[in-house]
Amino acid sequence: MNFFIYPAARIGLYMLTLCTAALFGISVYRDRRRMRNCVFLILTLNLIWQCISVTVAFVQGEDFDGMTVVPRMVLALILAIGLIVNGLLVITKEGFSIAHSLSLLVGGAIIVAIAAYVGAVLYVIHLQDLNYGMNPVSKPLEAAFYICMELASYLPMMMIGFLLYSMLYQKLPIKRNPQFIVILGCGLMGDKVTPLLASRLDRGIAYDEKTNRESLFLVSGGKGNDEVISEAQAMENYLLEKGIPQERILKEDKSTTTRENLMFSKKIMEDRMKDYFCVIATNNFHVLRAAMLARSQGVNGEVIGGKTANYYRPVAVIREHAALILSYKGLFCVYAAWVVIFNIFKYFFM
């Protein structure tokens, strides 16, 4: 039985979608740096898709499952092919490593999941032919199969939601001028900044010029075991070469992680000004996680992103997404539970 043949069911779905969209808007307005904003966004987009599918299926009298499954499979296939091509490109340019192979591995995993789904469907159709059109699969087994497939698509969906919200976050205006521009460090080439780190510094300089402020630059990064000088010192040298006066540069050279970057930088800023506001410069793929870490450390500021080579962004986004999953395991488990409950309701009561 198709539950959505009833007008009340369709209206309920539309209202649920509106409520979820409203929660997303309110949550972003209250604090744009929260992880739950990503979850509300992907839920809203998923429900909008369900609304469109239900409406079209009802008007045209078609099967609701076919309206939702086939387009998602096509999109997943396109995503998988894109990730595989990107993975090969990254390996060609950067050399082989597990980190550089992430997009290739994820794309391959999606292909395997699609193949398993199609194979299972064809097998069921074959069994139906042998059983004179009767469904040979029990309802619980069918529900378990679809729940597994939904969970398999859950991580790519969350990754897309993370990417979309990261893009949205970077488009939202920052209405307050900063007293500090914090530059987060990353690896060096000898005693020079890497192109990745240079893009962070250039983004901070560009933001300072845009706001016509005399903000203080706070460069944050310690000295790794394989580094000649601290990242903070290399960044200071770069800023001096770009014409930033020495008196406008502060250094934090003890940190070894992003969390420590923010924690130690916060202490320096609070010592100078209690009611401070800062802008934190990193790379665009790292913006959202840096913003969430800044919030967790009580840093009063927003994050901006410098450019990253296009071919490298998918690998970086996948790595950032994996880090977020580890940091917010509980929230991701809640979302997975919602997927399971929704599909149980769908296959036993619709």
Residue 62 maps to a domain: yes
**42 plus 141 within the same structural domain:** yes
Question: What is the DSSP code (8-state) at residue 183?
Answer: E
DSSP 6-67: SHHHHHHHHHHHHHHHHHHHHHHHH-TT-THHHHHHHHHHHHHHHHHHHHHHHHHT--HHHH
Query: Token pair for residue 157?
Result: 């969906």
* Domain end residue (candidates: 258, 276, 294): 276
- Per DSSP, 283 falls in state E
Residue 289 lies in a domain: no
Q: What are phi and psi of 249, to 5 degrees?
A: -115, 125
Contact assessment for residue 284 and residue 307, using Cβ atoms and an 8 Å cutoff? yes
Q: Provide the pLDDT for residue 350.
A: 58
Q: Does some domain include residue 302?
A: no
Residues 189 and 137 in one domain: no
Are 58 and 196 in a shared domain? Answer: no
Question: What pLDDT score was predicted for residue 1?
Answer: 44
Check if the beta carbon of residue 301 is closer than 8 Å to that of residue 182. yes
Give the integer Cα–Cα distance in Å for 21 and 201.
Answer: 36
Tell whether 66 is covered by a domain: yes
- Give the SS3 label for residue 255: coil
With respect to residue 235, please indicate whether it lies within any of the assigned structural domains: yes
Same domain, 33 and 156: yes
* 300 within domain boundaries: no
Q: Residues 225, 337: contact at Cβ < 8 Å?
A: no
How would you write the pLDDT of the chain (350 residues) with one tens digit per residue? Answer: 455 666 777 888 899 999 999 999 999 999 999 988 988 998 898 888 888 877 877 777 655 555 566 777 777 788 888 889 988 888 887 778 777 788 888 888 888 888 877 777 777 666 666 665 555 556 666 667 777 777 766 667 777 888 899 999 999 999 889 999 999 998 888 889 988 899 999 999 999 998 877 899 999 999 887 788 999 999 999 999 999 999 999 999 999 999 999 999 999 999 999 899 999 999 998 999 999 999 999 999 999 999 888 888 888 888 888 888 788 788 778 877 877 787 777 666 65
Domain span holding position 185:
180-276
Does 164 lie in the same domain as 20? yes
Q: Are residues 82 and 209 in the same domain?
A: no
Q: Encode burial over 131-169: b for 16+ CB neighbours within 10 A, e otherwise.
A: eeeeeeeeeeeebebbbebbebbbbbbbbbbbbebbeeb
CATH number of the domain residue 207 falls in = 3.40.50.620
Strand ranges inside the chain, DSSP E: 180-184, 188-189, 192-193, 216-220, 249-252, 278-283, 301-306
> How many other C-beta atoms can be found within 10 angstroms of the C-beta atom of residue 59?
8
Q: Same domain for 77 and 186?
A: no
Domain co-membership, 19 together with 123 = yes
Q: Give residue 19's identity as a one-letter amino acid code.
A: C
Same domain, 265 and 136: no
pLDDT at 59: 73
pLDDT at 345: 72
The answer to whether position 297 is within a domain reads: no
Phi-psi region for residue 256, left (φ > 0), alpha (ψ -120 to 50) or beta? alpha
Q: Which of 261, 276, 291 is the last residue of a domain?
A: 276
**Considering 276, 299, 320, which residue would you say is the last residue of a domain?**
276
Specify whether the CB–CB gap between 343 and 147 falls below 8 A.
yes
Residues 115 and 222 in one domain: no
Confirm whether 301 is domain-assigned.
no
3-class secondary structure, 215: coil
Same domain for 26 and 149, yes or no, is: yes
Global pTM value: 0.81
Total structural domains in the chain?
A: 2
Q: Are residues 71 and 159 in the same domain?
A: yes
